[in-house]
């Protein structure tokens, strides 16, 4: 049994995780025995830099690690893109290292998951379809650049809170990604764990004719990567159809 614990901010799209657990262990997967427990920390759901720095603070993530301890995870992931990239590359690295020290197991965050997933697929140039306000979204572009991922175009939906993102209808999620593609991009990235995307990934990839990487998708994949586990799942996009 492999157990990957996720620290998730507030409430929005955390139901993507039990869905993924079902897909990873059900008839859609080639193997089972994956547990994906989620524990919540609370701060703000505002997409603004000061609030995001507070949300991803060492103390809050330590609280999340304490909540996850009862699940005895093999790895822990901070399931928040903006609450990690807002620290910059070095700050996000320190954030993950401190989380690992507290949890006593390997740790990472959604921001690093995007970079590692792009590397696994050989993706070099991307389009970003962000839900965030423009100033926050640009920090994600900067983070990707340090990780060797070039952003050809970045679209910002300007949504102020995670709660609003969590209320987006599936059609709106597909439209956000499909309308903000770039013809020369290797993939489209959709960075917000507050957005339900797991049920829409294949529809987006069909519309685009290329891979799509979404926040909850890459976060779950990153946990598997940290534990040395590979699962092939047809319904979770190109990322889950290659052995990394």
- Three-state secondary-structure class, residue 128: strand
In this predicted model, what pLDDT tens digit does every residue of 151-194 receive, in sequence order? 999 998 888 787 888 788 888 888 899 999 999 999 999 999 99
DSSP 161: B
Q: b or e along 139-165 (b: 16 or more beta carbons within 10 Å of the residue's beta carbon)?
A: bbbebbeeeebebebbbbbebebbeeb
Locus of tokens 């990873």: 24
Q: Which of 65, 48, 90, 54 is nearest to 8 (CA)?
A: 65
Question: Where do the structural domains in the chain lie, given as residue ranges?
Answer: 2-241
pLDDT at 244: 62
How far, in Å, CA of 92 to CA of 99, rounded?
10
CA-to-CA separations, 168 to 12, 41, 135, 164, 232, in angstroms, rounded: 10, 22, 21, 7, 28
Question: Given 2.40.40.20, 3.40.50.2300, 3.40.50.12500, 3.40.50.300, which CATH number is that of 2-241?
Answer: 3.40.50.12500
In this predicted model, what pLDDT tens digit does every residue of 34-76 receive, in sequence order? 999 999 999 887 788 999 999 999 999 999 999 999 999 999 9
pTM of the predicted model, to two decimals? 0.94
Hey, what are 216's tokens?
A: 């909850």
How far, in Å, CA of 37 to CA of 176, rounded?
29
Q: Which of 239, 185, 240 is nearest to 177 (CA)?
A: 185
């Amino acid at each position: 049994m492999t157990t990957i614990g996720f620290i998730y901010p507030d409430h929005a799209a955390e139901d993507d995780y039990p869905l993924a657990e079902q897909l990873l262990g059900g008839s859609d997967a080639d193997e089972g025995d994956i547990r994906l427990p989620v524990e919540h920390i609370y701060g703000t759901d505002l997409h603004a830099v000061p609030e995001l720095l507070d949300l991803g603070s060492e103390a809050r993530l330590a609280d999340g690690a304490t909540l996850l301890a009862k699940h005895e995870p093999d790895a822990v992931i901070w399931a928040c893109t903006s609450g990690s990239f807002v620290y910059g590359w070095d700050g996000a690295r320190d954030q993950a290292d401190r989380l690992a020290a507290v949890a006593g197991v390997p740790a990472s965050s959604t921001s690093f998951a995007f970079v590692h997933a792009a590397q696994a697929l050989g993706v070099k140039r991307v389009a970003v379809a962000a839900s965030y306000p423009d100033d926050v979204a640009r920090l994600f572009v900067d983070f990707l650049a340090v990780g060797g991922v070039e952003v050809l175009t970045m679209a910002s939906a300007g949504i102020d809170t995670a709660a609003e993102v969590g209320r987006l209808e599936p059609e709106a999620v597909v439209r956000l990604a499909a309308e903000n593609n770039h013809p020369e991009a290797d993939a489209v990235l959709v960075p917000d764990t507050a957005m339900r995307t797991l049920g829409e990934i294949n529809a987006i990839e069909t519309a685009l004719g290329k891979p799509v990487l979404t926040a909850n998708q890459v976060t779950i994949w990153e946990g598997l990567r940290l534990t040395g586990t590979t699962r092939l799942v047809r319904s979770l996009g190109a990322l889950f159809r290659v052995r990394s």
